[in-house]
Amino acid sequence: MESTYIFGHKSPDTDAINSAIIMAEFEQLNGNTSAKAYRLGEVGPETQYALDYFKVEAPELLSDDLTGKDVILVDHNEFQQSADSIEGANIRHVVDHHRIANFHTAGPLCYRAEPLGCTATILYKMFNEKGFDIKPEIAGLMLSAIISDSLLFKSPTCTEQDKDAAKALEKIAGVDAQEYGLEMLKAGASTLNKTAVELINADAKSFNMGDYTVRIGQVNTVDLNEILGRQAELEQAITETLNNAEYDIFVLVATDILNSDSAILVLGEDKDKIAQAFGVELDNNTAFLPGVVSRKKQIVPPITETLS
């Protein structure tokens, strides 16, 4: 039987990695024994903390040509965020919580998108709807993804459904969500041992907005100065990225996970329009955005509106 490839987006975060594993488990329970989780990038320290804690192996890095292959997308749908050969694949199923854009298929498919804080919350609902038992390690991965995407339930993207799912999952996983979640987020927030190139690419996504292609990277930290103090080397890495790729603007978002604020570093064509989107002015290519933590809900929409 041909394999079914399951994966999240490029530069995968905890939800992208974990949801691929969770969806593979769902498919196996549903009779699709060929289902297998993959990843489209390196595993970050936050995600690795969760995988190690719940003793789950990271998915294999996807290197196959997907032309003619059956695939399931989780935590994304936009083709520029997906595998390089995605346009030739047979997309059978999508489970996502983001906007729908630049997406098309040759045939019908199952598509489930809900405006929740995390793809793993949708998968939790799918398990319950089917009456499937959730193993403790799968519950732990679901909980970890919810904590990651919601910044421990502080993000405006976090819904009551996410919180209710987390309460149920922490019991199955056998952890305290607040204690475990803070340690997991801290594991992913240290930036001192990362290069500038790693920082700007670790959690970056590309978006088509009007006539612009915008690259938006996000870095979580417990100290914004840890990021902003490296502005010169970050700008060099961003400039090289802009010169080597078809991006018009690069926005690096540094998010303080303890105080729920962010700072942005912006380079590229019409960079001042990014500041305009937030009603601020750039000072030496940077601006402070109080109360902004969510790329999906607080960063992408105003930039899209301004550039479109």
Structure tokens at 106: 């040759």
Structure tokens at 162: 């996410």
* Terminal Cα distance for the chain, rounded: 45
Helix (H) or strand (E) holding 187: helix 177-189
- The residue among 205, 190, 219, 188 whose CA lies nearest residue 48 is 188
Q: What is the DSSP letter of 80?
A: G
In Å, how far are 103, 129, 267, 280 from 111, measured between CA atoms? 11, 16, 36, 38
- The answer to the question of whether 15 is labelled as a binding residue is yes
- The answer to the question of whether 97 is labelled as a binding residue is yes
The whole-angstrom separation of Cα 209 and Cα 249 is: 10
- The answer to the question of whether 164 is labelled as a binding residue is no
- The answer to the question of whether 75 is labelled as a binding residue is yes
- The answer to the question of whether 98 is labelled as a binding residue is no
Backbone angles phi and psi of 161, in degrees to 5:
-65, -40
In Å, how far are 249, 255, 257 from 268, measured between CA atoms? 4, 21, 27
**Torsion-angle region of residue 136: left (phi > 0), alpha (psi -120 to 50) or beta?**
alpha
Backbone angles phi and psi of 277, in degrees to 5:
-60, -30
**Torsion-angle region of residue 132: left (phi > 0), alpha (psi -120 to 50) or beta?**
beta
Residue set of the binding site for Mn(2+): 9, 13, 15, 75, 97, 149
Residue set of the binding site: 9, 13, 15, 75, 97, 149
